[in-house]
Amino acid sequence: MTSFARLPNFVIPAQAGIHLRTSRLVQRREMDSRLRGNDGVWLGKRLARRVILALLTALTLIAAPAHAERIKDLGNFQGVRPNQLTGYGIVVGLAGTGDDSLDYATQGMKGVVSRFGLTLPQGINPALKNAAAVLVTADLPAFAKPGQRLDVTVSALGKAKSLRGGTLIMTPLRGADNEIYGMAQGNLAVGGLGVSGADGSQVSVNIPSAGRIPGGATVERAVATGFDTAPTLTFNLSEADLTTALRVADGINRTYGDHRAKAVDAVSITIDAAPGATDRIMMMGMIENIEISPADAPAKVIVNARTGTVVINGAVKIHPAAIAHGKITVSVNESPRIVQPAPFSQGQTAVEQSSSISIDQEKKPMINFKGGASLADIVKAVNAIGASPADMVAILEALKQAGALKAELVVL
């Protein structure tokens, strides 16, 4: 019994190793047979599909525009725009910083009190130091409906020093057609502060004579946009560009698979659409989210001569040119001397002028621009000669006159 009990301890490990090796050989043979047989064809097709899918993904990433933008960021549909509203009103509750006795402020206050059945006696001109005549402005967005709230801006019309702490009395807001589209009223939020002393000294922080009322107006009438009844939809670009207009039309046609969009000019793209607000709203929402690659901006150099600001976009190129820029400083120093007469000469004291003139000319190296110099080359060259913004304006104007600067030079 003892010998038979020991026998499996030696036989089982050997048999296990044999079976393990046998199973591995069987798996390898089955794999080879699959690759050689029908199963191998199936695996080959599956591998080929994965490779093709990876290649298509890579080609899609390569073909995608590097700086694609949504069409909604390039302009807006015709008729879908805000409208400006304006009103004339009275702000009350000021701490003695109002218009005092201006005629139009007094007339406005008489109109306000007349709503409540009050009438000021003839010849009475109240000193309205706590009231001010103001203009109220607001923007009525497209599709605004009655009952919605608008932010309004309130600005002093007369000589009111501050609107801080004031309240706007109910003011009608009118459009360009003189129709009322909103009503404004509420407490002003003024970010400025103005303080004056008895001796005439004043301290002012920001602009205290203007403020805002968040949600201070209520829409009373909607404006018809007309987009649902027009023969076609028209999309207008914010900046005129023929290339961008063509790309917008092409992007819309590729999305819908037809030729419904046409570029009329550098701004407008007409789109054939079925009449009706529901279908057109759906189409407009889809068109706004189409991404296209807009055209590169034209080469421009913007110069503000008053502040010395110079802005150059990346499309500006410089043709072969050489620049030498230096400064000549002329200094004139006056040193007057007092000359006394000799004793007992009966002369008079005189002032003798003494002037010294010096000229200092800075020597700067000449910069040679090769053809097609980029924005980085221009900045590097300007920094090398140590040109200030004012000097840079003179350099750019000279390059433009020489024909080396192929860009539009805009002087503000």
Contact criterion met (CB below 8 Å) for 123 and 106: no
pLDDT of residue 20: 42
Among the listed residues 293, 369, 389, the one whose alpha carbon sits nearest the alpha carbon of residue 324? 369
Low-confidence ranges of the chain (pLDDT < 70): 1-67, 101-106, 113, 116-118, 120-121, 123-127, 192-202, 204, 325-332, 355, 357, 359-376, 379, 385-387
Phi-psi region of 172 (alpha: psi -120 to 50; beta: other; left: phi over 0): beta
Looking at the DSSP bridge assignments, the partners of residue 331 are: 358
Catalogue the E-assigned strands of 257-341: 261-263, 268-271, 291-292, 300-304, 309-312, 321-323, 328-334, 337-339
Q: Report CA-CA distances (Å) from 324 to 10, 281, 354, 386.
A: 98, 60, 36, 11
pLDDT of residue 160: 85
- For the record, the structure tokens of 338 come out as 């007092």
pLDDT of residue 148: 95
Treating both helix axes as pointing N-terminal to C-terminal, what angle do 2-36 and 38-63 enclose, rounded to 10 degrees?
60
pLDDT of residue 80: 87
pLDDT of residue 168: 94
pLDDT of residue 171: 93
Residue 54 makes CB contacts below 8 A (sequence gap 6+) with none
